[in-house]
Each structure stands twice: as C-alpha cells, then as structure tokens.
Chains A and B, each alone.
Chain A
Amino acid sequence: MKIHEYQAKAVLAAFGVAVPRGALALTPEEARVAAQGLGGSVWVVKAQVHAGGRGKGGGVKVCKSLDEVRDKAAAILGMTLVTPQTGPEGRLVRKVYVEEGLAIARELYVAMVLDRETRTIVLMASTEGGMEIEEVAAHSPERIHKEYIDFQAGIQPFHVRNTCTALGLTGLAAKRAATFLPALYKAFVDKDASLAEINPMVVTADGDLLALDAKVNFDDNALFRHPDIAALRDTDEEDPLEVQATAHDLNYIKLSGDIGNLVNGAGLAMATMDTIQHFGGQPANFLDVGGSADRARVKAAFEIILSDKPKAILVNIFGGIMKCDVIAEGVVAAARDVGLTVPLVVRLQGTNRDAGREILAKSGLRITPVESMREAAEAVVRASRGE
C-alpha cells in the first residue's frame, strides 16, 4: 500500500526521523494560514499525489511570501499533475503540503528495501540525491552504496558509519545520521514497510540532517496488524475499478489493451495475457478471481471487466479447487444480468469441466467454447477484430 508524503513523514517522525515542519492544506487559504503558522520567510508548497517526480511536473513550488503560498497553492490544487510516474493521464491534485523552507547544503539519497536474494534489509545510499535512483542505478551503479542488514540482529553502528563514509557525512551531520538511520530502520521493520525512500535526505547549512521527501510503501499482507497504517489508505489515488476489485477480493490490474480476461490463479492469468499478445492481441486487464471464487465474485469480476469496454472477453479457468460448473453458472448469470453484447470465449478445464460446458451450451448465450489455451487466445483475438 502507498501513502502520501505528508503521511509518510508523520509515520517516520514518530520514530524519531527528522523531518521539516509542515502542515496539510485542502484550499489556497488553508495553505496561507498553514505557512503563517509555520513562520519564517520561505515555504514550499507540494502537491500530494501517489507519484514521484512531482517537481518536474510543476507540483512543487518555493514561495517567498504568504500571498505567493496562497497563489501557488491555488495553481496546484485541482491541477492534473503529469509526472514520469503518473502516465500521460496524470493525477488530480486534491491536497497540498506546506513546509518550512530550508537552507540546503547537500542533497543525498537513502532508502531501505527487502533484498530477496540475501533475505536482508538493504540500506541504499547515494550522493546523487534528488535524482531518480533508477537512473543512477542504470548509469553509475557504483554511486549506490549498500549495507545489508540482518533482520534478526537489526541495524548496527557500523552500518551507519559505513554509510556516513560513503556519503561524506562528518561532524554534526554524521551525529544526526546515527539517530536518523536507526530510526528509519525501526520504522521500516515495526510498520512492515516494503519500501522507505528518502529522496532527498538533505544536509542543511547548519549541518542538520532531514528527510526533505519521504516515500513509504507497506506490505499489504501485514496491514491487519497496523490499523493506524491501513487508515492512511487514500482510494482517491487508486484506479476506481481496482478499488472495486479489492472490495470483492479480486486481483485486478487495468491495462491498455482491448481484450478483457478472467482467469483463476495469478500465474495462469499472466500467462493468458502473454498468450493473447503472442497471437497479436492486447490484454485490457489482469484479473485473477482466486482459488475459491463463487458465483457472486465471478459476476463482480465480469462487471469490472466490462467497465473497461473490451472488444472481446476470454474466460480461462483451470479448475482445481475451483469447480468449472460454478464458474459457468457465474458466467451465465453475469452475462444475463449485464446484458453482455461483446463476444465471449470460454475455456474450462479440470474439475467438473463437462458439467460447466453443458451449462454454457444450454444458456443460449453467444459463447465460443474452446479446448486449449492456444485455441482460446486465437479465438479471442479474432473476435476482438470482429472476425
């Protein structure tokens, strides 16, 4: 799960990670009042959306007066922010975060993430703060310093010392890092994060160390034990169809093609998309109905797929736990309820296959039954072209 910058900073600050002072605003006037409350003479107004690269898209503005804070907030609120991470459609900005301005001496990068191979938490650090780390990794991987932290033992002082050396942090900044990095690690582990990225982590003119930006993602599977984190979910930032799918326990991801598909099992669902593309089509979605889908869930899945206005739909079920006749009933019910008009190709294999096929055949619906995955993909691609 993703959260906003202002939320991430609040979570991290509670663990002792130093962050600039700031306040959330939903209107230009609120932004002005927030700046006034913070005091000082320089403020930064930052668009709050779940995407990076906000500065490049015009979503981050430095202001020198309270009126400017209000005006810049007015410009940002309600804008559709397009960044390299939002895609061309962009994101509507609904909130801004107003922060005190800092005298920045250096911009650095630190992040924590799970390393699957070594099964450790890797602390990544780079002097190339403010840049996209993927770019640094691609062009100058030697500039990314890594410390591998054993999950049982936790972060040690030597991890901090090595990181300070790599970043050239000395004196007060190094002393601050000895608090900052262990606090970041503790937040990461205690809150079941999957990513904690501070880009940039800044050294101020006074030698202070602060998180100027913060991105924290969480392990969805662990949200049950963090109701405080789960409450931070902002469904405005998610695709409405994906929100609807989650409510029905469906794994759904919207894609850009025109062939809808409904599959059981994540691996088979991916492979089905791949096969459609192999035969010249473009999948409109990834949808895994899961191992224990019932009629209601199949119907919900159909409604979500149809909202995407596909030119054809492929249902590919390998019945194991899931029984083909149950799927078939769901398909027929859904097709009737929604008044299905697009061509439907259905492949049922495995448990109760014949019963399922009979239900489809007797339904009177225009369904193309197929045997193999190859046939299925070929048939649905043809159907999507109106052949």
Chain B
Amino acid sequence: MSIYVDQNTRVVVQGITGGAGSYHARQMVAYGTKVVAGVTPGKGGTTLDEIPVFDSVRQAVKETGADASCIFVPAPYCKDAILEAVDAGIRLIVCITEGVPVFDMLAVKPIVDRAGVRLIGPNCPGLISPAGRCKIGILPASIHQPGHIGVVSRSGTLTYEAVAQLTELGLGQSTAVGIGGDPIAGTGFIEVLQAFQDDPDTQAVVLIGEIGGSAEEKAAAFVKEHMTKPVIAFIAGRTAPPGRRMGHAGAIISGGEGTAESKITILRECGIEVAETPADIGATLAKRIGWNP
C-alpha cells in the first residue's frame, strides 16, 4: 500500500521541543501518524501534549519501540542526531533540516549504509503515505489522497504542486517522497524508484528533478532498464544561470554539467515523458496512463 512507512510506523521526533519540531509533531499526530516519542537532550521526563520526551534516542526506542525518526534539530547538530538514531537501532531516518554541511553528510552516509538504515534527506519535506495515514515531515497533508501514484522529488513546494494536480484529477498517491535538494542525499531517485516498482499498490510514478548533478540521468537509465511501471518527469531550472546555487545546495550547473536540457533529453531518450511546464505534470501523467477524470 505504500513504501517505507505505513500505519504501524512508530515515530520519534528529534528536536521535538523546538519551534518547527513541536509544530510539525502536532501536525503529524493530527494526520494520524503514530508519534510515540520526542527527544531533546536535557528535556527528558517532560511531555509535548501526550508525547513523552526523552533525553536520548536510545531511551526513546527502549521505552516506546520507535522504529523511525524525524529530525528537526539545527543543521550543526544533524550529524550527531543522525548517528545517534542509527546507534539506537532506528530503521528509517527522515532529516528535514536544511543547511547540513556537505562533509557531515560524507561522514554520515557510509555509516548509515553499513547499518542498513534508510536515511531520507536532509533538506527535504519528508514522506507521506495517505492510505497508511502516516506522514513523517512537513508536507501539507490536506492535498494528499490515497491512491496508486508514487511521487519522488528533489523539491518541496514543487512536490506539493504536483500532488495537488494529481489529487485534482482524482489520482491519489501511494507514497510521496521528497528526497531533498542537497548534493549528498541519504536516499536517491533510484532507490525510491525500485521501491515503487516493487510496491504492488503503486501503478505509476511522477519524478521531479532539478538542475545539478546527474541523479536524473542515472534515474532515467534505471527506469529504462528495470521498470515496467509508467514514469513521467518534470525538471526545474531551464532558465537557471550556470554557476549559481538556485536555493538548494545541490541545484547548480557546474562546468556545463547538470543542465535541465541535458536531463530532459536523456529522460526522453529513455522513454520517459517530461512535462513542459509544472502546470502540466498532472495532465502528463493522466495522459500517459490513459486516465480520464
């Protein structure tokens, strides 16, 4: 019915007593997510509404059986927070925080991989499974509805744009995953595409990429080689000037590489339809799968 999360996922929020942490913990609970614990060092023994707060992730796991974590701690402390979650046996870590140093991610990524832990982000909106009523992150829940379209994206608000169009057309989502806009991401397009391919409830996929790096090109080759489900795409940044970071740390055209045009060309060569404008994402998918609302 979804990938990575479902109605049984038990979430600990790291940084739950901060502004963003407390606001979004409540939003997650309101949606139906099982937020079983919060962690803020030094605030152990307190509560946020009904949610018990612990000093460490290890305590939170021991006391509540949390198996997923959502991180809102400030960027300088994310390396510590991610590694603490891995150490405590968390299986899915979603890091929302923007601004994590690249070298911190270089240090963290091999440890996460070695432990077999799934890390999503950083600098991402998180993920949501409408049928499982499970949201880990900051996506606006109201625009989502249960269904069979998988969405994977490097952008936050552009994901909401795409999801809103799908919902408007009556195309619900199995899972929407924001993998984040940083140069080193915990989870890439290919891993999410594989999960959607393996998920019996996902029938088609929307991939939203942007300039910088070559993740979209690699994803295109993967779709051609390994996927039987229809995939459509949108790439942001056709008008972006080279050499400038367009908001996201990873969204930069450098040395002539990572342009939108080259990504779009390769996606199309691999048989993936690419929406001309973001306004056409929903319609492009509907046409691809022969859906008439």
Asked whether any CB of chain A lies closer than 8 Å to the CB of B146, the reply is: no
CB distance from B224 to the nearest CB of A (A): 18
Which stretch (B4-12, B103-111, B194-202) binds chain A?
A: B103-111
Nearest Cβ on chain A to B257's Cβ, whole angstroms: 9
Bound-state Cα–Cα, A132 to B110, Å: 34
Q: What residues of B have a CB within 8 angstroms of the CB of A255 in the complex? A: 239, 241
Residue of B whose beta carbon sits closest to that of A250: B247
B219-246 vs A: 1/0 string, CB under 8 Å? Answer: 0000000000000001011111100101
A266/B246 in contact, CB under 8 A: yes
Interface residue? A358 (CB, 8 A)? no
| CB neighbours of A235 from chain B (8 A) | none
Q: Determine the distance from Cα of A268 to Cα of B178 in the docked complex, in whole angstroms.
A: 13
Residues of A within 8 A of B210 (CB): 266-267, 270
Give Cα A137 to B257, complex, Å.
11
Count of interface residues, chain A, beta-carbon cutoff 8 Å: 54
Residue of B nearest to A321 (CB): B138
Q: Are B240 and A119 in contact (CB under 8 A)?
A: no
Residues of A contacting B234 in the complex (Cβ-Cβ under 8 angstroms): 271
Decide: A267 near B236, CB < 8 A? Known: A116-B250, A372-B279, A373-B279: yes
B208: min CB distance to chain A, Å: 7
Query: A276 CA to B238 CA in the complex, in Å?
Result: 11
Q: How far apart sit A326 and B262, CA to CA, in the bound complex (Å)?
A: 38
Q: How far is the CA of A274 from the CA of B235 in the complex (A)?
A: 10
Please, how many angstroms separate the alpha-carbon atoms of A74 and B107 in the complex?
48
A277 vs B241: C-alpha distance when bound (angstroms):
13
Does residue B1 face the partner (Cβ distance < 8 Å to A)? Answer: no
A286 in the interface, Cβ–Cβ < 8 Å?
Answer: yes
Q: State how many angstroms separate the Cβ of B213 from the closest Cβ of chain A.
A: 5
Give the distance in Å from the alpha carbon of A219 to the alpha carbon of B154 in the complex. 20
B207 sits at the interface (CB 8 A): no
Report the bound CA distance from A270 to B75 in whole Å. 24
> Do residues A117 and B160 form an inter-chain contact, with CB atoms below 8 A?
no
Which residues of A314-333 have CB atoms within 8 Å of chain B's CB atoms? 318-321
> Which single member of A114, A137, A273, A318 contacts B157 (CB below 8 Å)?
A318
Q: A283 at interface (Cβ–Cβ under 8 A)? A: yes
Report yes or no: A350 in contact with B160, Cβ–Cβ below 8 A. yes
A192 / chain B contacts, CB cutoff of 8 Å: 101-103
Question: Is residue A307 within 8 Å, beta carbon to beta carbon, of the partner chain?
Answer: no
Instruction: Identify which of B20, B24, B103, B157 contacts A219 (C-beta below 8 A).
Output: B103
Interface status of A349 (Cβ within 8 A of chain B): yes
> Is A224 engaged at the interface, CB distance under 8 Å to the other chain?
yes
Confirm or deny: B85 has a beta carbon within 8 angstroms of a beta carbon on chain A: no
Among A137, A219, A265, which residue has its beta carbon within 8 angstroms of that of B158? Answer: A265
Contacts of B276 in A (CB 8 A): 278
Residue of A nearest to B104 (CB): A222
B181 in the interface, Cβ–Cβ < 8 Å?
yes
A225 contacts chain B at the CB level, 8 A cutoff: yes
- What is the bound-complex CA distance between A350 and B143, given in angstroms? 8
CA distance A220 to B103 in the complex (A): 12
A268, B214: Cβ atoms under 8 Å? no
Q: Are B160 and A318 within 8 A (Cβ)?
A: yes
Give the shortest distance, in Å, between A359 (CB) and chain B (any CB).
19
- Give every chain B residue within 8 A of A350 (Cβ-Cβ): 140, 142-143, 160, 164
B247 touches A286 (CB 8 A): yes
Q: Is the CB of B102 within 8 A of A270?
A: no
User: In residues 255-297 of chain A, which contact B (Cβ within 8 Å)?
Assistant: 255, 263-278, 283, 286, 288, 291-292
A133: chain B residues at CB < 8 Å are 255
Which of B153, B161, B211, B244 is within 8 Å of A318, CB to CB?
B161
Contact among A283, A288, A351 with B247 in the assembled complex (CB-CB below 8 Å)? A288
Contact (A137, B255) CB under 8 Å given A116-B250, A351-B140, A373-B161:
yes
Minimum CB–CB distance from A199 to chain B (whole Å) comes to 13
Task: Confirm or deny: B271 has a beta carbon within 8 angstroms of a beta carbon on chain A.
Answer: no
Shortest CB distance B240–A (Å): 6
Is residue A134 within 8 Å, beta carbon to beta carbon, of the partner chain? yes
Do B236 and A320 touch across chains, with their CB atoms under 8 A apart? no
- Given the interface pairs A116-B184, A291-B138, A291-B156, the reply to whether A268 lies near B161 with Cβ below 8 Å is yes
Across the interface, do A151 and B106 meet the contact criterion of CB distance under 8 Å? yes
B214 nearest CB neighbor, chain A only: A117
- Check A275–B246 contact: CB distance below 8 A: no
- On whether the beta carbons of A275 and B278 are closer than 8 Å, the reply is yes
Q: Which residue of A lies closest to B178 (CB)?
A: A267
> Any chain A CB within 8 A of the CB of B256?
yes
Q: List 28 A-B contacts (CB under 8 A).
A: A114-B106, A116-B184, A117-B213, A119-B110, A137-B256, A192-B101, A219-B101, A221-B101, A221-B102, A266-B155, A266-B246, A267-B154, A267-B247, A268-B155, A268-B161, A270-B246, A274-B239, A274-B277, A275-B278, A283-B239, A319-B140, A320-B125, A320-B140, A321-B23, A349-B164, A373-B161, A377-B277, A377-B279
Interface residues of B (CB under 8 A from A): 20, 23-24, 75-76, 99-104, 106-107, 109-110, 125, 138-140, 142-143, 153-161, 164, 181, 183-184, 208, 210-211, 213-215, 218, 234, 236-241, 244, 246-251, 255-256, 260, 276-279
Closest 4 CB pairs of A and B: A267-B155, A266-B247, A265-B157, A267-B158
Q: Given contacts A117-B213, A350-B142, could you give 12 more A-B pairs where the C-beta distance is less than 8 Å?
A: A192-B101, A221-B102, A222-B101, A225-B76, A251-B247, A255-B239, A264-B157, A265-B158, A268-B161, A270-B237, A286-B246, A374-B279
